[in-house]
Amino acid sequence: MKYAFFLGCVIPTKYPQFETVARKSLPKVGVELVDVEGFSCCPEPWNFKSYNIMAWITIAARNLAIAEEAGLDILTLCSGCFATLAEAHHILEDKPELKDEVNKRLSKIGKKYNGTISAKHVVQVLRDDVGAEQIKKSVTHPLEKIRVGVHYGCHVLKPSETLRVDDPADPRILETIIEPLGAEVIPYAERLSCCTGACQDEEMVFKFRYNKLQSLEEAQVDCMTLVCPACFEAFDLGQVMLNRKSEKKFNIPTLYYVQLLGLAQGLKGEEVGITRHKIRSPALLEKLS
Amino acid sequence: MPKIDLDFKKKLTRVEYADFLTYCYQCGACVGDCPSAKLSPAFNPREIVLRVLLGLAEPLLKKDSIIWQCTTCYTCQEVCPQGVRPIEVITALKNIISAQGMLPDSISASVGIIKDTGRVVLVSNVINKRRTEQGLTELKPVPMDELKKIL
């Protein structure tokens, strides 16, 4: 299984530990990551799309065209990159006139997007192409007794008509790939709520995140896990900021899914980079050792 | 008297299905599950769609517009029985605000970084040093000549 590894912007710059652990742990389940030159920002599906949707889809098509030239489907760790690239692909297939217009622009740099590849989120690759069995076979240090609260985020699931990953009202994809690691997935009331990264109202953002963290705390999780760097920022750095404004102080460590995978495959806490996070939990490290 | 723009709905970009809004029959399903509407009664996706349909969208087209309270979570889109895509209507409105040079400062700054460097985060020596420490390669600059030509 070979994929063009689409790094995006936020992970390789702010959170390279996720890239490091992906490069170590994905080959162990048979996924080969190929570095392809020339990718830019996907571009991100909130601010840049708000700025100009035509510019957004043109840059996305250039990225897709680069992977197509390499003859590879795209794998990304980021829900934002996934949403942009998968949506752009869908729209271009659905609207041939728009595709012509975008390709006219791409022709200025000698590129063309034919629509022969697809962009996949790492969780899709793990569920559909690798499979739970294969994941389980790679586990040497099962995460027994680790209580995980799953945060889906929005852009890996919605709009479901375009992305077709799972049912956004009752998704199972993360549970499917966490359970083989031996961890216990704990349901909680705010499981499907948004990180609110795109909301521009500070007061609302505070309330959203407070409710989510409160719900996780009530469920007595050891950590939450997620698959989007914007969500990660919202609940790692965001939790520190929230604690500054809030009388109540939360301490819920946030782990990227690939970090859980790496830990279950025998990597140490430091090697998967959890010691670099803002929210640290000695209790979790203790349980992992 | 509010200004009515009868042709307003035709001004929305059709790149991403904003034109499905004419199917809206104002049932309000989009409001019930909207996380922003829960916390801010002034934010109402049904009303945003209605304003666009009636040509009364002018109050939404400003730098501090209520539409920036949207989290872009797409829940409204999932629950709409008519296949209206309120988020795409909101995105189309944001594009109009942007064309008038009125994007909120934080968004404008983030867009500027992408237009200048091809990435949404500025790559510094510190970042590349941290990458090499972790056994990763340094990030190469994005070919900006190509990006500039296609935009």
The C-alpha atoms of residue B19 and residue B85 are separated, in whole angstroms, by 9
Q: Is the pLDDT of residue B3 over 90?
A: no
* CATH C-level class of A2-122: mainly alpha
Q: Is the pLDDT of residue A282 over 80?
A: yes
Q: Which residues pair with A121 in a beta bridge?
A: A76
Which among A12, A57, A58 has CB closest to B131? A12
Cβ-based contacts of B123 with chain A (< 8 Å): 13
| Max Cα–Cα distance, chain B, nearest Å | 64
Which among A10, A17, A109 has CB closest to B150? A109
- Report pLDDT for A25: 98
Confidence of residue B2 (pLDDT cuts 50, 70, 90): confident
Structural domains in chain B plus CATH codes: 8-99 (1.10.1060.10), 105-150 (no CATH)
A240 and chain B in contact, CB less than 8 A:
no
- Report pLDDT for A134: 98
Q: What is the DSSP letter of B121?
A: S
Going by DSSP bridges, is the β-strand pair A223-226/A184-185 parallel, antiparallel, or unpaired? unpaired
A12 and chain B in contact, CB less than 8 A:
yes
What are the residues whose beta carbons fall under 8 Å from the beta carbon of B58, sequence distance 6 or more? B2, B3, B5
- Report pLDDT for B87: 95
Please, are residues A235 and A151 in contact by the beta-carbon 8 Å criterion? yes
Which among A20, A43, A159 has CB closest to B114? A43
The C-alpha atoms of residue A25 and residue A33 are separated, in whole angstroms, by 11
Confidence of residue B1 (pLDDT cuts 50, 70, 90): confident
The C-alpha atoms of residue A180 and residue A137 are separated, in whole angstroms, by 9
Please, are residues A18 and A256 in contact by the beta-carbon 8 Å criterion? yes
What stretch of H or E contains B39? helix B35-39
Determine the straight-line distance between the first and last CA of chain A, rounded to whole angstroms: 32
Q: Which tokens hold the place of A221? A: 């999780």
Q: Which tokens hold the place of A163? A: 């992305």
Q: What is the DSSP string of B47-74?
A: HHHHHHHHT--GGGSSTT-GGGG-----
Cβ-based contacts of B36 with chain A (< 8 Å): 199, 204
Q: Is the pLDDT of residue A197 over 90?
A: no
- B68–A197: do the CB atoms touch at under 8 Å? no
A80 and chain B in contact, CB less than 8 A:
no
Q: Which residues pair with A3 in a beta bridge?
A: A33
- Report pLDDT for A258: 98
What are the residues whose beta carbons fall under 8 Å from the beta carbon of A202, sequence distance 6 or more? none
Centroid of chain to Cα A163: 14
Q: Which residue in this structure is represented by tokens 């505070």?
A: A206
- A154–B139: do the CB atoms touch at under 8 Å? no
Q: Which residues pair with A32 in a beta bridge?
A: A2
- Report pLDDT for A199: 87
Residues B47-75, mean pLDDT to the nearest whole number: 95
Residues B17-36, mean pLDDT to the nearest whole number: 93
- B134–A201: do the CB atoms touch at under 8 Å? no
State how far residue A207 is from chain B, nearest Cα, in angstroms.
Answer: 8
Burial per residue of B36-51, b for 16 or more beta-carbon CB atoms within 10 angstroms, e otherwise: bbbbbeebbbbbbbeb
Q: pLDDT tens-digit profile of A204-229?
A: 999 999 999 999 999 999 999 999 99
- B95–A53: do the CB atoms touch at under 8 Å? yes
- A160–B78: do the CB atoms touch at under 8 Å? yes
Confidence of residue B15 (pLDDT cuts 50, 70, 90): confident
Confidence of residue B14 (pLDDT cuts 50, 70, 90): confident
- Report pLDDT for A214: 98
The dotted CATH code for A137-288 is 3.40.50.11810
Q: Give the 3-state DSSP-derived string for chain A, with helices as H, strands as E and coil as C.
A: CEEEEECCCHHHHHCHHHHHHHHHHCHHHCCEEECCCCCCCCCCCCHHHHHCHHHHHHHHHHHHHHHHHHCCCEEECCHHHHHHHHHHHHHHHHCHHHHHHHHHHHHCCCCCCCCCCCEEEHHHHHHHHHCHHHHHHCCCCCCCCCEEEECCCCCCCCCHHHHCCCCCCCCCHHHHHHHHHCCEECCCCCCCCCCCCCCCCHHHHHHHHHHHHHHHHHCCCCEEEECCHHHHHHHCHHHHHHHHHCCCCCCCCEEEHHHHHHHHCCCCCCCCCHHHCCCCCHHHHHHHC
- B95–A51: do the CB atoms touch at under 8 Å? yes
Confidence of residue A175 (pLDDT cuts 50, 70, 90): very high
Residues A105-116, mean pLDDT to the nearest whole number: 98
Cβ-based contacts of A101 with chain B (< 8 Å): none
Q: Which residue in B has a C-alpha nearest to residue A203's C-alpha?
A: B39
ipTM higher than 0.90? yes
Q: pLDDT tens-digit profile of A55-97?
A: 999 999 999 999 999 999 999 999 999 999 999 999 999 999 9
Residues B6-28, mean pLDDT to the nearest whole number: 90
A186 and chain B in contact, CB less than 8 A:
no
What stretch of H or E contains B87? helix B86-99
Residues A184-202, mean pLDDT to the nearest whole number: 93
State how far residue B24 is from chain A, nearest Cα, in angstroms.
Answer: 18
Q: Which residue in B has a C-alpha nearest to residue A39's C-alpha?
A: B142
Dihedral of CA atoms A216, A217, A221, A226 in degrees, nearest 10, equals 30
- Domain ranges across chain A: 2-122, 137-288
What stretch of H or E contains B92? helix B86-99
Q: pLDDT tens-digit profile of A127-159?
A: 999 999 999 999 999 999 999 999 999 999 999
- A198–B118: do the CB atoms touch at under 8 Å? no
The C-alpha atoms of residue B3 and residue A74 are separated, in whole angstroms, by 47
Please, are residues B44 and B60 in contact by the beta-carbon 8 Å criterion? no
- Report pLDDT for B26: 97
- A204–B36: do the CB atoms touch at under 8 Å? yes
Dihedral of CA atoms A7, B131, A253, A265 in degrees, nearest 10, equals 80
Which among B70, B107, B134 has CB closest to A17? B134
Q: Which residue in B has a C-alpha nearest to residue A110's C-alpha?
A: B146
A189 and chain B in contact, CB less than 8 A:
no
A256 and chain B in contact, CB less than 8 A:
no
